[in-house]
C-alpha cells in the first residue's frame, strides 16, 4: 500500500512539505509530529489558494474578498485562525493518554491495518477505508502489524496490546484524526472568510475549536470527524462551482465528495441532499439568467470532471488495486450493508426509553443538549440576521440549508447512535454564528454591544475549558444533573474511563471487583485486580463498578436486570461515567423491598 502511494507521488509530496523523514529513518514520535505539523501547513496553504482563486460575487477582484480590509488585516486574521487551530489541536492531543480506547476504535484500527499490511480490506465493508487508513498509519509506522484474528474487534485489541505498547499505539492511532480536525476548522473558516468576512471567519474558528462534542471525537481513532472534515470542503467547492461552473471546480467537488464518502458512508446520504438544497437556492436567486448562462452550459463538463475526480479518488483510497472495478464493488457492497443495517435498526437509549427503531427527535435533542449555550445563542442570532437582512442571498442561506438537509436526513435513519453522526452540522452552524457575530461588530456603537459579543465568545471558551479533558460526556445546563437519564453510549459513556477505574481500584487497595463496563477491553491489561463480570439480573455483594451506559440500559425495561442497584448509593463516581459501589456481604441484596424501587423495576 505504501509503495503504491509513493508511486503516485503522495509520499514525495509529503516529504517536500516536511512531513516524511529521509528514508523513513526517524522515530515514531518525530514522524507523527511532522505528519501533524506538515499536514497543517499543507492544508492551510491549499485551502487558502482555493478560497482566493474564485472571488465572491460581491468582489470585483480577489483582493476585495474582505471588503475594505487591508492586507494587514488579512494577515492577522490568517494568523489568528492558525493559532486557534493549533490551540484546539493541542487541547485534543492532551486527552490522548487520559482515556482508554472507546468501543469502536479497535475495529477501525484493525481494518486500516489490514489494508496497509496486506493490501486487502475484507473485515467489513460498512465503513470505507479512508479514515481507517488514517488511524492505522501511526501504529503501522511504529511497527505494529496485523495479528490474523478472525474477528475485527479481537484483531484491533491484539494490535493495541501488541508488544506491551498499548498507550503508545493508541496515541499513534488517535493522531491520525488530528489533521482532519485542522482541515475542518480551516475549510469552514476560509468559506466564512470568502463569503462573510474576517469577523465571521474568526468566530467560526473559535466556535469549532471550542465545541466539546467535536473535540471529543477528534480525539478518538474513529470515522466521525474525518467525514465532517471532508464534507465542508465538498460543500464549499460546490458553492464555488454554483457561482462559476468551471470544469476544474467540478473536479474538486468530485475529489472531496469521494474523500467524504470513503471516510464514512453517511456522506453518501448527506452530500446529495445538501447539494440539491444549495442548487435550488441558487436557481431561485436568479432563475432565468443563471440557468441559461451558467448551469446549462457548465453542467455537462462539470459533472464529467466531477465523476472523473470521484472515480480516481475512490480507486486511490482503496489501495490502487489491479482490478479497477473492485473499489466500486466494495463501495456498492457497503451501501447494501448500510441499507440492511438501517432496516434492522440498532438498540438506542433516549430520554429513558429503549428502541430498535430509533427516535425522530434524537439528533435535534442531542444537538440541543450537547452544544454549549453560547454557541446556540450566537447561532440563533445568526439565523435571525439572515432571515431579516439576507433572506434572498443564496450564499447566506446555504450553510443553514445544508445543515438542515443533513439533520433532516439523519432524522430519517433508525441508527440514532450519538451526536457523532451529525458532526457535519457543526461547521455550518459555526458559520451562521459567525454571521451573527459580524452583525454585532458592524452595529456596535457602544461598549455594551461589543461586551455582549465578548461575553458570548468568552462563555463558549469557558464551557470548553471547564469540560477538559472530558469532552465526550459534556452536556450543557439544559441537561440537568443526570444526563445519563437522557443520552448515553457515545454521547456520555463509550468505555473511555477504564484507565481511571484501574487507578481508583489500585488507590483503594481493592483486591476483587465485579465489573459492568461498556467496553471490550482486556481489563487485566489495564491493571485491574482479579475481576468477574457483574451478571445481569443477578444481585451481588462486595466491590463493583458499573458504567452509565450499562446502568441506563440495565435499569429500563426490558433490560432492567440492574434495578436492584437502585436502592444503594455509590461510594464514588470515577471520572464522569463509572459508579463504584460497595455492598456489605452481610447484607443480602437478593430479597429486597420492591416498594423502594422505581416504578419500572417493580
What is the predicted pLDDT for the residue at 15?
Answer: 41
Count CB neighbours of 484 within 10 A.
Answer: 23
Q: Does one domain contain both 412 and 289?
A: yes
Residue 597 resides in a domain? yes
Residues 566 and 525 in one domain: yes
- Which pLDDT value is given to residue 406? 98
In order of 121, 169, 210, 220, 232, the CA distances from 174 in angstroms are 20, 9, 19, 5, 21
* Percent of the chain with pLDDT strictly greater than 70: 84
pLDDT of residue 9: 39
Instruction: Extract the C-alpha cell encoding 214.
Output: 467535536
Q: Is position 473 within any domain?
A: no
pLDDT band at residue 58, thresholds of 50, 70 and 90?
Answer: very low
Tell me the pLDDT tens digit for each residue of 549-558: 999 998 888 8
| Region class of 517: left (phi > 0), else alpha (psi between -120 and 50), else beta | beta
Same domain, 352 and 231: yes
Same domain, 189 and 165: no
Same domain, 522 and 407: no
User: How confident is the prediction for the chain on average, in pLDDT?
Assistant: 87
Among residues 34, 174, 11, the alpha carbon closest in space to that of 104 is found at 174
Q: How many domains does the structure of the chain reveal?
A: 3
For 83-105, what is the mean pLDDT?
A: 97
Nearest partner of 189 among 241, 238, 236, 225, judged by Cα: 236
276 and 310 in a common domain: yes
Does 37 or 125 have the greater pLDDT score? 125
594 CB neighbour count, 10 Å cutoff? 8
Tell me: pLDDT of 447 over 80.
no
Confirm whether 478 is domain-assigned: no
Lowest mean pLDDT, pick from 146-160, 468-482, 505-519, 527-541: 527-541
Tell whether 68 is covered by a domain: yes
pLDDT at 275: 97
Task: Return the pLDDT at 184.
Answer: 98
Angle made by CA atoms 428, 415, 332, in degrees to the nearest 5: 85
Comparing 166 with 563, which gets the higher pLDDT?
166
- Give yes or no: residues 236 and 213 share one domain: yes
Question: What is the domain range of residue 167?
Answer: 105-175
Residue at a domain's end among 151, 175, 199: 175
Share above pLDDT 90 across residues of the chain, in percent, rounded to a whole number? 71
Does 406 lie in the same domain as 330? yes
The residue-averaged pLDDT of 433-438 equals 95
pLDDT, average across residues 147-171: 95
Q: Residue for cell digits 474564485?
A: 54
**DSSP of 227-283, one letter per residue?**
HHHHHHHHHHHHHHHHHS--HHHHHHHHHHHHHHHTT-TTHHHHHHHHHHHHHHHHH
Distance CA 150, CA 544 (A): 32
Question: Is 129 part of a structural domain of the chain?
Answer: yes
| Mean pLDDT, residues 148-172 taken together | 95
The reply to whether 124 and 187 lie within a common domain is no
Q: Work out the average pLDDT over 376-390.
A: 95
Q: What is the pLDDT of residue 557?
A: 81
Do the Cβ atoms of 441 and 199 come closer than 8 Å? yes
14 in a domain, yes or no? no
The arithmetic mean of pLDDT across residues 59-75, rounded, is 52
Domain boundary among 149, 175, 201: 175
What does the DSSP 8-state code read for residue 21?
Answer: P
**394 & 431 share domain:** yes
Residues 111 and 85 in one domain: no
Average pLDDT over residues 477-494: 95
Let me know whether 286 and 141 are in one domain: no
Q: Which of 415, 446, 467 is the last residue of a domain?
A: 467
Q: What integer is the mean pLDDT of 389-409?
A: 95
Classify residue 487: in a domain, yes or no: no
Amino acid at each position: 500500500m505504501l509503495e503504491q502511494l509513493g508511486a503516485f507521488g503522495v509520499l514525495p509530496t509529503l516529504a517536500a512539505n516536511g512531513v516524511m523523514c529521509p528514508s523513513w529513518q526517524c522515530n515514531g514520535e518525530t514522524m507523527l509530529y511532522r505528519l501533524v505539523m506538515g499536514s497543517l501547513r499543507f492544508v492551510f496553504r491549499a485551502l487558502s489558494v482555493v478560497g482566493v482563486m474564485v472571488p465572491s460575487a460581491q468582489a470585483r477582484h480577489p483582493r476585495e474578498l474582505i471588503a475594505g480590509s487591508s492586507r494587514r488585516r488579512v494577515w492577522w486574521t490568517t494568523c489568528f485562525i492558525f493559532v486557534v487551530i493549533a490551540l484546539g489541536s493541542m487541547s485534543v492531543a492532551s486527552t490522548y493518554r487520559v482515556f482508554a480506547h472507546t468501543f469502536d476504535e479497535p475495529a477501525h484500527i484493525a481494518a486500516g491495518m489490514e489494508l496497509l499490511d496486506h493490501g486487502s480490506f475484507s473485515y467489513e465493508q460498512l465503513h470505507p477505508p479512508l479514515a481507517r487508513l488514517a488511524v492505522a498509519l501511526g501504529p503501522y509506522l511504529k511497527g505494529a502489524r496485523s495479528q490474523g484474528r478472525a474477528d475485527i474487534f479481537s484483531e484491533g485489541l491484539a494490535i493495541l496490546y501488541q508488544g506491551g505498547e498499548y498507550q503508545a499505539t493508541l496515541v499513534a492511532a488517535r493522531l491520525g484524526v488530528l489533521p482532519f480536525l485542522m482541515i475542518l476548522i480551516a475549510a469552514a473558516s476560509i468559506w466564512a472568510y470568502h463569503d462573510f468576512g474576517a469577523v465571521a471567519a474568526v468566530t467560526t474558528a473559535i466556535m469549532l475549536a471550542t465545541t466539546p462534542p467535536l473535540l471529543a471525537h477528534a480525539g478518538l481513532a474513529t470515522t466521525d470527524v474525518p467525514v465532517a472534515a471532508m464534507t465542508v470542503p465538498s460543500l464549499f467547492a460546490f458553492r464555488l462551482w454554483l457561482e462559476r461552473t468551471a470544469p476544474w471546480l467540478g473536479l474538486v467537488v468530485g475529489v472531496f465528495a469521494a474523500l467524504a464518502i470513503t471516510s464514512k458512508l453517511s456522506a453518501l446520504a448527506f452530500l446529495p441532499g445538501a447539494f440539491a438544497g444549495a442548487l435550488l437556492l441558487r436557481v431561485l436567486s436568479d432563475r432565468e439568467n443563471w440557468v441559461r448562462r451558467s448551469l446549462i452550459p457548465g453542467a455537462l463538463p462539470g459533472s464529467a470532471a466531477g465523476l472523473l475526480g470521484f472515480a480516481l479518488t475512490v480507486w486511490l483510497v482503496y489501495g490502487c488495486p489491479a482490478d479497477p472495478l473492485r473499489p466500486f464493488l466494495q463501495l456498492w457492497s457497503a451501501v447494501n450493508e448500510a441499507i440492511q443495517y438501517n432496516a434492522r435498526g440498532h438498540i438506542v437509549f433516549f430520554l429513558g426509553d429503549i428502541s430498535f427503531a430509533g427516535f425522530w427527535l434524537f439528533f435535534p435533542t442531542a444537538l440541543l443538549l450537547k452544544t454549549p449555550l453560547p454557541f446556540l445563542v450566537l447561532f440563533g442570532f445568526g439565523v435571525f440576521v439572515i432571515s431579516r437582512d439576507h433572506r434572498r442571498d443564496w450564499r447566506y442561506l446555504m450553510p443553514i440549508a445544508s445543515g438542515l438537509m443533513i439533520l433532516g436526513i439523519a432524522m430519517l435513519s433508525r441508527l440514532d447512535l450519538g451526536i457523532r453522526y451529525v458532526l457535519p452540522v457543526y461547521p455550518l452552524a459555526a458559520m451562521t454564528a459567525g454571521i451573527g457575530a459580524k452583525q454585532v461588530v458592524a452595529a456596535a456603537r457602544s461598549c455594551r454591544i461589543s461586551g455582549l459579543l465578548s461575553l458570548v465568545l468568552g462563555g463558549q471558551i469557558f464551557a470548553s475549558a471547564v469540560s477538559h479533558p472530558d469532552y465526550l460526556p459534556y452536556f450543557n445546563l439544559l441537561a440537568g444533573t443526570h444526563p445519563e437519564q437522557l443520552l448515553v453510549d457515545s454521547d456520555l459513556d463509550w468505555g473511555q474511563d477504564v484507565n481511571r477505574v484501574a487507578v481508583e481500584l489500585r488507590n483503594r487497595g481493592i483486591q476483587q471487583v465485579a465489573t459492568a463496563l461498556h467496553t471490550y477491553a482486556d481489563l487485566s491489561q489495564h491493571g485491574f485486580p482479579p475481576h468477574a463480570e457483574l451478571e445481569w439480573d443477578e444481585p451481588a455483594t462486595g466491590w463493583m463498578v458499573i458504567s452509565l451506559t450499562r446502568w441506563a440500559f440495565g435499569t429500563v425495561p426490558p433490560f432492567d436486570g440492574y434495578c436492584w442497584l437502585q436502592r444503594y448509593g455509590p461510594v464514588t463516581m470515577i471520572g464522569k461515567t463509572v459508579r463504584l459501589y460497595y455492598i456489605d456481604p452481610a447484607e443480602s441484596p437478593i430479597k429486597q423491598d420492591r416498594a423502594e424501587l422505581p416504578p419500572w423495576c417493580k
